[in-house]
Amino acid sequence: MTIDEVLSVLERVESEDLDPKSGRLFAYVYETGDENIRKVAEKALVRFAEKNLLDFTVFRSAVFFEKEVVGFAKSLMHGADALGSFTFGGTESIMLAVKAARDFYRKREGKAEVPEILAPISIHPAFLKAADYLGLKVVRLPVKEAKGDTDAFAEAVSNRTALIALSAPNWPFGTIDPVEEIAEIAVEKNIPLHVDACLGGFILPFFEMLGENVPKFDFRVEGVTSTSLDAHKYGYAPKGASVVLFRNAELKKCSMFVDVSSPGYVFVNQAVLSSRPEGPLAAAFAVIKYLSVEGYKNLASKILSARNKIYKGLKELGFESVGKVESSVLAMSNPEIDLMGFVNNMKKLGWQLHLQKGLKNYGIPDNIHLTLSPIHDEVAEEFVEDAAKAVEMEPEVDTKQIYAMAERGDFAEIIKGIEEGRLDSSVIPMLLESVPEDVAVELIKNVVIEWFR
């Protein structure tokens, strides 16, 4: 193929995607609307794309960039003496924190027990993935008012507990777990505590600077031993940019992998991945330097403005918040309407929302999830207007129809509808709610294999 032919294929394939710049997505991308951010990030990304973070003694620029990016993250988390590593995403950061806790536990307790992670049911699945990879068990605990239940943690701690994991905020509801209260338990029992601030680490500090009442969740809290925050979320860097921070050198060392036995070379990994391009790291540095604290505060103020407009508009339509509104996430429920129909109506009007199944045992109803970005301040009024239309529209697809299809065994038709964009993928959790977990996992794996065959 010629260059023009290749570029033509790229253009055709891209036409199937939603526009990440449009402000009509409420997850996956964190759009500012500032073309200069995109410009400086893309130039850094391309300039350092061919340099390899595997060996920082060869590409010394990597040392400079990582110290700068980690240093900015440390300042946000009030961890002047903390140590950190740059990773390619929140899951990788969390895996390193779990590895550090596991190895620290083994040094203290030996290898006889299967180490456990105590976490609220609202914790990010990355902890489950890390436990699956690294041979730990996650004990998922109740939530109270959409936050981790302190009493449940106090009761669950045992000599098998290697790590307590909390969120600031959690993804589903945007609420901040009671870090200060649960940290007291961690200190008393001498257990590491990780705060997953992948979503909040680059936004909550600026909310606080703007006068918002943000509960303490960072290294100001005694007992917090590690935290993770994503520069590719509210740091506005391109994808592939996160940081994990450790309170002390011992935990940082436990997160690393070093091999000195190979005849090839000394193998040193601060992250899970080995060979990886330096571009995302350089781009994260470029965006941080371009924006600085004042730039981030300005973007944070736009998110607060968007949050106020959309929250007020949805309240007027009968929606209520799930838990306390204290971050950049809105989780809203409305028992008077069919949420599946509403989400699909909004999709017809050009908006991509998430429908979340509730946690009935904890008083949490089915709800819609909105992760807000600065661009949403420009489209908030239009969103509310369309939400009012969607509430009144007769949906092409609603909960009764989907459940009827499931009862008839028309799963192939449901999957086809998702592939063609007629159905939103958020119908899947609803359908699988009554299916045993192992059966649901196997079903999804089969669907994915067929999708990519």
Report d(CA 78, CA 204) in Å as an integer. Answer: 13
Contact status, residue 352 vs residue 27, Cβ threshold 8 Å: yes
Of 2 and 403, which is predicted with more confidence?
A: 2
pLDDT of 434 > 80? The answer is no
Residues in CB range of 90: below 8 A, 6 or more apart: 124, 126, 196, 198, 199, 228, 230, 233, 242
Q: What is the pLDDT of residues 162-180, one digit of tens each?
A: 999 999 999 999 999 999 9
- Provide the token pair at 1: 């193929």
pLDDT of 436 > 80? The answer is no
Report d(CA 238, CA 287) in Å as an integer. Answer: 9
pLDDT of 250 > 80? The answer is yes
- Looking at residue 339, its pLDDT comes to 92
Helical H runs in 270-398? 279-316, 339-348, 376-392
pLDDT of 433 > 80? The answer is no
Report d(CA 109, CA 116) in Å as an integer. Answer: 12
Give the whole-number percent of the chain exceeding pLDDT 90: 79
> Which range, of 312-321, 352-361, 413-422, averages the lowest pLDDT?
413-422
- Integer-rounded Cα radius of gyration of the chain: 22
Query: What's the pLDDT band for 426 if we cut at 50, 70, 90?
Result: low
Q: What is the pLDDT of residues 369-378, one digit of tens each?
A: 999 999 999 9
Give the residue-averaged pLDDT of 381-389. Answer: 98
Helix%, strand%, coil% for the chain, nearest 5: 45, 15, 40
Q: What is the pLDDT of residues 205-220, one digit of tens each?
A: 999 999 999 999 999 9
Give the residue-averaged pLDDT of 321-334. Answer: 97
DSSP 360: G
Backbone phi and psi for residue 103, each to the nearest 5 degrees, phi listed first? -70, -35
Contact status, residue 139 vs residue 131, Cβ threshold 8 Å: no
- Looking at residue 449, its pLDDT comes to 78
pLDDT of 422 > 70? The answer is no
- Tell me how far the alpha carbon of residue 442 is from its chain's centroid: 24
| Residue environment code for 435-448, b if the CB has 16+ CB neighbours within 10 A, otherwise e | eeeeebeeeeeebe
Query: What's the pLDDT band for 441 if we cut at 50, 70, 90?
Result: confident
Domains of the chain as residue ranges with CATH: 41-288 (3.40.640.10), 298-451 (3.90.1150.10)
Residues in CB range of 294: below 8 A, 6 or more apart: none
- Tell me how far the alpha carbon of residue 135 is from its chain's centroid: 23
Contact status, residue 217 vs residue 258, Cβ threshold 8 Å: no
pLDDT of 419 > 80? The answer is no
- Provide the token pair at 77: 């988390």
Q: What is the pLDDT of residues 78-132, one digit of tens each?
A: 999 999 999 999 999 999 999 999 999 999 888 778 999 999 999 999 999 999 9
> Which range, of 58-62, 191-195, 326-330, 404-408, averages the lowest pLDDT?
404-408
Report d(CA 194, CA 95) in Å as an integer. Answer: 11
Backbone phi and psi for residue 259, each to the nearest 5 degrees, phi listed first? -125, 125
Give the residue-averaged pLDDT of 393-407. Answer: 76
> Which range, of 170-179, 275-284, 377-386, 427-436, averages the lowest pLDDT?
427-436
Query: What's the pLDDT band for 33 if we cut at 50, 70, 90?
Result: very high
Contact status, residue 173 vs residue 363, Cβ threshold 8 Å: no
Mean pLDDT estimate for the chain = 92
- Looking at residue 296, its pLDDT comes to 98
Give the end-to-end CA distance of the chain in Å, rounded to a whole number.
24
pLDDT of 69 > 80? The answer is yes
Report d(CA 176, CA 103) in Å as an integer. Answer: 28
Picking from 277, 275, 276, 257, the residue whose alpha carbon sits closest to that of residue 267 is: 257
- Looking at residue 453, its pLDDT comes to 79
The residue type found at 434 is S
Contact status, residue 357 vs residue 345, Cβ threshold 8 Å: no
Q: How many CB atoms lie within 10 A of CB 77?
A: 25
- Looking at residue 430, its pLDDT comes to 67
CA 254, 257, 263, 265 torsion-angle sign: negative
pLDDT of 406 > 70? The answer is no
Picking from 341, 369, 349, 374, the residue whose alpha carbon sits closest to that of residue 357 is: 369
**Paired residues of 137 in beta bridges:** 116
Give the residue-averaged pLDDT of 241-247. Answer: 98
pLDDT of 415 > 80? The answer is no
pLDDT of 22 > 90? The answer is yes
- Provide the token pair at 33: 């609307």
- Provide the token pair at 432: 């699988």
